[in-house]
Amino acid sequence: MEEKEIDHKGFDLSLMSRLLSYLKPYWPWVLLTFGLIFVASFARQAGPYLTKVAVDDYIEVGDAQGLLNIFMLYLGLLIFQFIVGYGQSWATNMIGQWAMGDVRFKIFSQLQKLPLRFFDRTPIGRLMARNTSDVDALNELFTDGLVSMLSDFLTVVMILAFIFFMDVQLGVVTCAVLPLAVWATFWLQNKTFQAFREARTRFAHFSSSLQETISGMEVVQLFGVEERSVRRFEESNNSYADARLLSSWYHSIYFPFMEFAGVILMGLVLWYGGGRVLALEVEWGVLVAMLQYVPRFFMPIRDFADRYTTIQVAMASSERIFELIDEVPESEGGGEKPE
């Protein structure tokens, strides 16, 4: 495997399809996980609507028994949400571990079939990275990236569904800010892609160089090249740190911007929704629920950038892993093996 720059355009459908093929043996568990994600998303967003019902139907009329019933329903919903969330997390992690076990076995089996000349030209540290850090990146994709992105998408859909069900006009006001948030998210995605890919590549070089230097420390000391070794380590370490700082700089712009957009939407809801409450066009409970939905609305959109970063890292790792798996093995008749 020759050293070369991994070059792709972020999300790669062919790579993702090949990765998802490792989930096929566990498709019943995958379907169960998807169902739990849907149920959990609905349960989480039903809470503010129950608050609306409590304010409009029971608090305003002084119905203590009805308020107690809503409280018990809310409590039961929280317990149900905890159980479903636990099941989702357990199933997701089990699927990830099973699939990654298959990937590790595939890599290890492939290494035993490759010719000796392959190991002569390939640093051991790089091969170790394929079976450790790169596989861990794929595990992060299966257990957090894809699952969280689906959960975030369903969260936005559920929030909008509840808002439009309560009041269509407030739903339109909420959607008015959505294009700005989506644009900012995709802007960050495009800007950070190169930074994260470069950081990942530099980390692979850093890790490989460090492992080879430590394993060959006897040779380093024998030839008295400690200073040169320190300089190489410092250069690779600083190079990796610079790449990580660049990606962090983009994040430092994005998240305050999303907070600002959330404050703008909150102000619009208070101004427009409050005016309609005073005009007796909307009930107080609707405004109370909206003030709970607005912060929740931006959380999944804001987290989408981090989820996409997970996918970017997994795409780079999967390309390196499949490059190794696709390496032409030693032909069975290619030579005699020692007894």
Q: How confident is the model over 21-66, as pLDDT tens digits?
A: 888 898 999 899 999 999 999 999 999 999 999 998 888 888 888 8
Q: How confident is the model over 101-140, as pLDDT tens digits?
A: 888 888 888 888 888 888 878 777 778 878 888 888 888 8
Using CA atoms, how far apart are residues 41 and 85, in angstroms rounded to an integer?
A: 9
| Torsion over CA: 37, 41, 44, 50 (sign) | negative
Using CA atoms, how far apart are residues 177 and 45, in angstroms rounded to an integer?
A: 20
The per-residue pLDDT for 334 is 47
The per-residue pLDDT for 42 is 92
The DSSP 8-state label assigned to residue 330 in this structure reads P
* The token pair that represents 272 in the structure block: 């427009």
Q: How confident is the model over 138-191, as pLDDT tens digits?
A: 888 888 878 888 888 899 999 999 999 999 998 898 888 888 777 877 777 777
| Torsion over CA: 278, 283, 285, 289 (sign) | negative
Amino acid making up residue 269: V
- Residue 149 CB: number of other CB atoms within 10 A? 19
For the domain made up of 13-325, the CATH class stated in words is mainly alpha
- Which pLDDT band holds residue 79 (cuts at 50, 70, 90)? very high
Place of tokens 């200073």: 227
Using CA atoms, how far apart are residues 138 and 108, in angstroms rounded to an integer?
A: 16
The per-residue pLDDT for 143 is 81
* Whether this model's pTM surpasses 0.85: no
Checking if the pLDDT of 80 tops 90, the result is yes
Q: Show me where the domains of the chain are located.
A: 13-325
